[in-house]
Chain A
Amino acid sequence: MAKGTVVLQLENDISTDIIYPGRFMATVLPSETPQFAFADDKAFNKKLNDGLIPAGSFIVAGDNFGCGSSREQAASCIKGYNITVVARNFARIFLQNSINVGLQMIICPEIDAGEGDELEVRDNRVVNLATGKSFAIEALPRARQAIIDAGGLIPYARHLLLERVA
């Protein structure tokens, strides 16, 4: 199962302004947004842009990750690096955007991990290999399972559209 390193540890109430600052919002395409991910954290943004963060890495956060603005760039910019976000919980719009664009997210209400820790996802738990502790994963909203199963909202909506025409 998925194994990777925590590359960023964040507190509660991380807003989409922190993930993708408003001044870059004129850039919209998922192929172009990753360059501005966490732009105000200059050191981390540089690591991302320099290719120093391997795919499969983890960001660990507290409660209410992705609160604030509905800007989808906040989900697509992280998705561009194939990073998984593990948070105690997520704000609604960010959670839905992430499912829609296929960003990997894990709701893990008790997660305790710091930067540099290695995590492994197995048997519906997140295991912190550095501390040996493991934490239960909470299911994503069941209403959205069909979209997850389809691999995102675009293929899901395309399928519904074709069904209607048929």
Chain B
Amino acid sequence: MGMTYIQKLLARACGKETVAVGDILELPVGLAMSHENAALVINQFREIYRETGIEARVWDPERIAIIFDHRVPAESSKTATNHKRTREFVAQQGITKFHDVRGDVGGICHQILPENGYVRPGQILVGTDSHTTTHGALGAFAFGIGATEMAAVWALGSILNVEAPGTIKVVVNGALPNGVYAKDLILHLVGLLSAEGANFRVIEFHGDVIRNMPTSGRLVLCNMAVEAGATAGVVPPDEETCRYLRDEAGVSDELDLFAADPDAVYERVVEIDATLLDPQIACPHTVDNVKSIGGLKGKKINQIVVGSCTNGRLDDIEIVARTLKGKHVAEGTRMLVFPASWRIYTDAMEAGYLRDLISAGAVVCNPGCGPCLGIHQGALGDDEVALATTNRNFKGRMGNPGAEVYLCSPAVAAASALTGTITDPREGN
């Protein structure tokens, strides 16, 4: 019986001929990523060693990545102290993939990993962040874990007692119409599957639309696979994967490329005709509450947020800058832009996008996660409504349980910024 991409990946990683769904495995970890919650991981890591008489050393300091992104620069003395302790741990353990609060190397973890060439096809990548699914866009088996789980990875180098997951195959054929993007596709899929439709499962993406999609779009799809509950999203690696890794991420070592078997067995196959898609909006307060834009046009918006690990990449900022160039964000609406990394920030600066955004009235902030989860900048007032290119709209998500968050593509965010209401980007201004 044939294997899905992830079954095959697991078999290779574990040195087995085959892996069946439900097999219980101990997976050797290729990369272990944490952000500010490294502070908790460090605490739990030391707990594991307590009273063992063994010196607490991480299994491989070159396979651990720590990226400060959730609260940068520190918003409180508590965060600053967590940062400080984590820096000391990094130095003590010799951890090499450390991205501090710096303009030359900083950014959001789910952009820093791909753009620095840390992600590989076939890799087992775990992160103490649910959006670790992002890295499946480059053919890794990448999934979120908790801090204690990560502490065990740091100690042992493997992720224990993992059950090989079943896979949902999503085939997207046709072509995305003008004004419709990867974000609309994944919102549509989350609406279709529901917030728990892929719980404990992998989503494997196929079809013409995926084949023709640049890595920036694939990262969006896999990023939000977790919003359908998926353990991981994955795009089996192809020419575009190699192009991105070679040309954009500076990877020169040999790549391990393989595909799912033609007779692989999937739990479910979902076919989507992209040609029929409209811009999609996820309405409060669940990500699977997805509607086509039609019925929502004219909804008043107080704050627009462009950025995050989902849609803060250069092509996202380009769409917004081109729409806003020479125009103005509507009176009564605030617009915040958070590029996903400082590399993207400086590229956008050199392309003139930041100037266009600022001249139009947008506030361009430093790269970081802050507003997406209501922990640092961009909080909402009582009864306010936000339209955001981020990935979650849960009650209280942007720092106020009395506010509402709608999720959309950068194109919808840009068109709506000009009018101050939800606006279809295909209708022009």
Candidates A29, A100, A165; contact of B149 at CB < 8 Å: A100
Say how far B180's CB is from chain A's closest CB, in angstroms: 26
B259 interface contact, C-beta 8 A: no
B162 interface contact, C-beta 8 A: yes
The contact size tier of chain A is 35 or more
What's the Cα separation between A40 and B396 when bound, in Å?
8
Question: B28-61 interface mask toward A, CB cutoff 8 Å, 1 = contact, 0 = none?
Answer: 0000000011011001100111101010000000
B188 interface contact, C-beta 8 A: no
A125 interface contact, C-beta 8 A: no
A92 touches B199 (CB 8 A): yes
A52 interface contact, C-beta 8 A: no
Chain A positions 135-150 with a Cβ under 8 Å from a chain B Cβ: 141-144, 146-147
B47 touches A92 (CB 8 A): no
A17 touches B394 (CB 8 A): yes
B37 touches A143 (CB 8 A): no
Q: Give the most central of A25, A72, A92, A153: most B CB within 10 Å.
A: A92
B229 touches A160 (CB 8 A): no
How many residues does chain B have at the interface if contact means C-beta atoms less than 8 Å apart?
55
A162 touches B52 (CB 8 A): yes
24 residue pairs of the A-B complex, CB under 8 angstroms, read A13-B195, A13-B288, A22-B373, A27-B78, A28-B37, A64-B196, A64-B229, A69-B129, A91-B196, A91-B229, A92-B200, A93-B146, A142-B24, A143-B24, A143-B161, A147-B160, A153-B151, A154-B47, A154-B48, A157-B48, A157-B151, A157-B152, A158-B52, A162-B54
Given A28-B82, A29-B40: A153 touches B149 (CB 8 Å cut-off): yes
Say how far B374's CB is from chain A's closest CB, in angstroms: 5
A23 touches B395 (CB 8 A): no
Chain A positions 21-50 with a Cβ under 8 Å from a chain B Cβ: 21-23, 25-29, 40
**A-B residue pairs, 3 tightest by C-beta:** A97-B146, A28-B40, A22-B373
A28 touches B196 (CB 8 A): no
A71 interface contact, C-beta 8 A: yes
Residue in chain B with minimal CB distance to A74: B146
A84 interface contact, C-beta 8 A: no
Candidates A17, A142, A147; contact of B373 at CB < 8 Å: A17
Given A13-B195, A22-B397, A25-B36: A75 touches B374 (CB 8 Å cut-off): no
Given A93-B130, A100-B148, A153-B149: A67 touches B195 (CB 8 Å cut-off): yes
Candidates B82, B151, B155; contact of A26 at CB < 8 Å: B82
The interface residues of chain A lying within 8 Å CB-to-CB of B48 are: 154, 157-158, 161
Residue in chain A with minimal CB distance to B395: A18
A15 interface contact, C-beta 8 A: yes
B374 touches A21 (CB 8 A): yes
A6 interface contact, C-beta 8 A: no
Given A63-B196, A93-B130, A157-B151: A28 touches B43 (CB 8 Å cut-off): yes
Say how far B58's CB is from chain A's closest CB, in angstroms: 12
Question: B173-212 interface mask toward A, CB cutoff 8 Å, 1 = contact, 0 = none?
Answer: 0000000000000000000000110011000000000000
Say how far B7's CB is from chain A's closest CB, in angstroms: 16
The interface residues of chain A lying within 8 Å CB-to-CB of B163 are: 141-143
Residue in chain A with minimal CB distance to B77: A26
B148 touches A154 (CB 8 A): yes
What's the Cα separation between A158 and B231 when bound, in Å?
26
What's the Cα separation between A68 and B286 when bound, in Å?
10
Question: A47-64 interface mask toward B, CB cutoff 8 Å, 1 = contact, 0 = none?
Answer: 000000000000000011
Residue in chain B with minimal CB distance to A145: B161
